[in-house]
Chains A and B, each alone.
Chain A
Amino acid sequence: MKATKSLPISADKNKKLKSTKNYAIPYLVWCFVLILIPSLVLIFIAFSTYDFTSGSDVSFTFNNFSYIFGSEYAISVFWPSIGRSFYISGAVTVICFFLGYPVAYLMKSMKPRVRAIIMGLLVLPLWSNQVLRIVSWRTIFELLQTNTTNFYQINIIIAMVSMYLPFMILPIYTVLEKIDPKIIEASYDLGASRKQTFFKVTLPLSLGGIISGVIMTFLPSLTSFEVSDAVSYQNITLLGNLIYERFRGTGGFNVGSVFSIVTVVFSIVGFILVMRVDKEGETLI
């Protein structure tokens, strides 16, 4: 009796699971067409001599990789640009952290209405066109007459901070908000001052959010090309600009692919870091 009774139920469950699985198909197709295939094509181009414009013969090669290590170009342009990219995105990330953490911390203790307003102000700029925001910064620098060689790097950093600050604040806020207020009270109760409580309890408990925020500001600013393009009038070349140059013109696809793969490697390292700290992925919003 029991066995026959349980059969239809489990069959029904399987059916349900199958039907909900179907909803994931569009996304799987999307992944396949727009992520997996292009990635494979990218790897293929990076390891081949294939030229899209002339349609030349295809042969396997490591030359594109050796190019970024051995060539004159690599020494004078590629590696300095990577260094500059790391320097600028590093500075952007550090500034975003020191500006963003206090905002996230204060938001936690705000009245819900004030918090909603701050949250709105944070998210609102994301609704406007990114190019428009970058161009606005350029106009501001022109008005301030700081659009000169000496200020290009600083201008890029300022513009990028404004661009990526919300991505630092939001994950940190999400984590801070989840901290049980009783845990903070327990710290006071055991004799910790406000400062001690912050450094011994609040900060370590928000580490997951900090790492998410760092990744979410560091990676996009590392690969950004629009900001340096517009704000420095193409005078400062970053990693993103190099890739863009290769793919915009003709004949640079193979080396451009290698540049892209280098960037992807950085991204993967970043995500491995996030996964190690934040196992449940709750801080990635």
Chain B
Amino acid sequence: MHEMSIAAAVVEQVGRVALQRGATAVTTVRLDVGELAGVVPRALDFCFALACEGTALEGAALETRTVPARARCGPCDVEWHPGMPPDLVCPRCGGARAELRAGRELHIRDVEWADRPLHTHG
């Protein structure tokens, strides 16, 4: 269960940007999570709420967009959805020369800021 570490990384990164930009509260964080990124969005959602407590992100919503995996064999010019568990062998040549065009993303896409804190502490 490394989703807590992932959530903490998101909170830390967004919090740092908030500080740089003088934003006082974050309303929404949007993530792209590839289906092969090894992260469970529901577990991440749970951890995110915990990681946000007492930070500028407290009360922020997490919106996760799952990015489907796509593999491509360049020499064959074939692209396919590897599925789960992924089949990364080229369906045309049976070779191992493919690359993963998408599916391992773990990115903060964008963040929505509120001009005033959503919560006051103390």
**A complexed with B:** no
Interface residues of B, Cβ cutoff 8 Å to A = none
**A interface, CB within 8 angstroms of B:** none
